[in-house]
């Protein structure tokens, strides 16, 4: 982690999520007396609605596993967020994955069979509480320009 206070905030989110019913199957424990801001890779299962691991951004090596019984429920869970920077859809059916990514997932970037990442050739940015506008690509360059109109008759 970048700083000790950020590590401690992440650990608070993990601990509160566990108090609300999440199970920690890996990590979640660190030596508070050690130097640095290390936080172990952590996996939480049975993450409940209302818990930090369900609703908040976890800026650290923590994976929240939220089970869905079908595609519709999985999309509803994915969209049940105040945030929307990036999302990923993994499927053997590329046509289905593209449809879900384009039409159903509420995120600024959605990847099919790949992880969220930025590429300078593509616009990158979020929706909802994850930001406004884009960076990178020609769209991103225009975010940093003030266009002036001059009209002469």
Domain ranges (residues) in the chain? 1-67, 82-146
Q: Which residue bears the tokens 């997932």? A: 105
Res 97 pLDDT > 90: yes
Per-residue pLDDT averaged across 60-77, rounded?
Answer: 96
| 12 vs 29 pLDDT, higher one | 12
**pLDDT score recorded for residue 136:** 87
**pLDDT score recorded for residue 10:** 97
**Residue 21 — very low, low, confident or very high, per pLDDT cuts 50/70/90?**
very high
Terminal alpha carbon distance of the chain: 59
pTM metric for this prediction: 0.80
**Residue 130 — very low, low, confident or very high, per pLDDT cuts 50/70/90?**
confident
**pLDDT score recorded for residue 42:** 98
And the tokens for 96?
């289905």
- Which range, of 40-54, 70-84, 92-106, 127-141, averages the lowest pLDDT? 127-141
Per-residue pLDDT averaged across 56-68, rounded?
Answer: 94
Q: pLDDT averaged over the chain?
A: 92
**pLDDT score recorded for residue 38:** 92
Whether the CB-CB separation of 91 and 97 falls below 8 Å is answered with yes
Nearest Cα to Cα of residue 53 among 22, 88, 78: 22
């Amino acid at each position: 982690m970048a700083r000790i206070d950020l590590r401690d905030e992440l650990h608070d989110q993990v601990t509160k999520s566990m108090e609300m019913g999440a199970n920690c199957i890996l990590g979640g424990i660190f030596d508070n007396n050690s130097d640095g801001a290390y936080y172990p890779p952590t996996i939480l299962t049975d993450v409940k609605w209302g818990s930090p691991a369900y609703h908040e951004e976890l800026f650290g090596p923590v994976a929240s596993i939220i089970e869905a019984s079908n595609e519709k429920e999985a999309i509803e869970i994915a969209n049940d967020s105040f945030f929307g920077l990036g999302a990923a859809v993994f499927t053997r059916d590329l046509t289905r994955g593209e449809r879900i990514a384009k039409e159903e997932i509420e995120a600024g970037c959605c990847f099919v069979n790949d992880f969220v990442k930025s590429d300078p050739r593509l616009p990158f940015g979020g929706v909802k509480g994850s930001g406004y506008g884009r960076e990178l690509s020609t769209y991103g360059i225009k975010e940093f320009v003030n266009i002036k109109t001059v009209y002469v008759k």
